[in-house]
Amino acid sequence: MTNSMTAYAQAATETEIGELSCEIRGVNHRYLDIAPRMPEELRVYEGELRDAISARLTRGRIDCFVRLKESDSGSLVPNAELAGDLQELLTEMHALVPDMQPLRAIDVLHWPGMLQAKQIEPAVIKASLMQVLNSALDDLLSARAQEGAKLSGLIDERLTKMSGIIADIETFLPELETNYRARLDEKLAEIRDQLDAARLEQEMVIFLHKTDVAEELDRLRVHIEEVSAVLDKNEPSGRRLDFLMQELNREANTLGSKSQDPRLTRASVDMKVLIEQMREQVQNIE
């Protein structure tokens, strides 16, 4: 299965401290480059976040945005220890001043230090962060797989066209060889009597070998089959495919350099165009 490196996903969940959200964007990169952005109070978990992403992705520039929107209610809780001390103080004061007016609840809440931030166990925060991160990663991997399937289809189309070009070339290869021999005979006609017959045949063989493209066509077919096989593998294949694109391009160039016929030149150019189109798609593959 082919996966793209370009994708986007997001997820959010409600926690005891508020809404925790995660947004992940992936783009092309030669290696795996993780760039997390998160609130300072969650920065302590950056290592775990990087490990979780690395466990599921192998290539791409990954921008990971973690945001925390603290809830308006429930984020502050009474200071129980201070409330107890205040209760004891009020009891002592009431004994000294029986007619003293009791404090209202609002007065108690406004007492300095009475309200404090709600303390959440670090393990609970970490679990919530990993939950929302993995949810976003699930969607990201799904999006990468869908985009990868499209890329694979585009590459397969061009491989099919290349195979068609190779088949067309093979239909006129015998004609090319005959034409090569005829042209060589014409060039050597004037000096044929001056050359040894064995030497003449040897030169003919050397010339035909230099213009023979059967080997290049065989290698092109092998590389095309290998690209198809790599696309079907359930593993990261971008680097392997990039290498195969270089090999395909090398054979297409050699084919063009040996060309002694306009049809072969056009075929070489057409294949190089298809290879370049595939190379552009391969740059997006993990």
Domains in the chain (CATH in brackets) are 7-72+122-145 (3.30.230), 76-117 (no CATH), 146-282 (1.20.140)
**Which amino acid, 73?**
S
Nearest to 111 by CA among 140, 94, 96, 90: 90
Query: Could you report the per-residue pLDDT of 84-111, keeping only the tens digit for each?
Result: 766 777 777 777 777 777 777 776 667 6
Q: Which of 12-16, 58-62, 87-91, 180-184 has the highest mean pLDDT?
A: 58-62
With bands split at pLDDT 50, 70 and 90, how would you rate the model's confidence at 210? low
The more confidently predicted of residues 81 and 39 is 39
3-state secondary structure 40-82: HHHHHHHHHHHHHHHCCCCCEEEEEEEEEEECCCCCEEECHHH
Q: What was the pLDDT predicted at 77?
A: 66
With bands split at pLDDT 50, 70 and 90, how would you rate the model's confidence at 50? very high
pTM exceeding the 0.75 threshold for the entire prediction: no
Query: Could you report the per-residue pLDDT of 238-263, keeping only the tens digit for each?
Result: 999 999 999 999 999 998 887 778 89
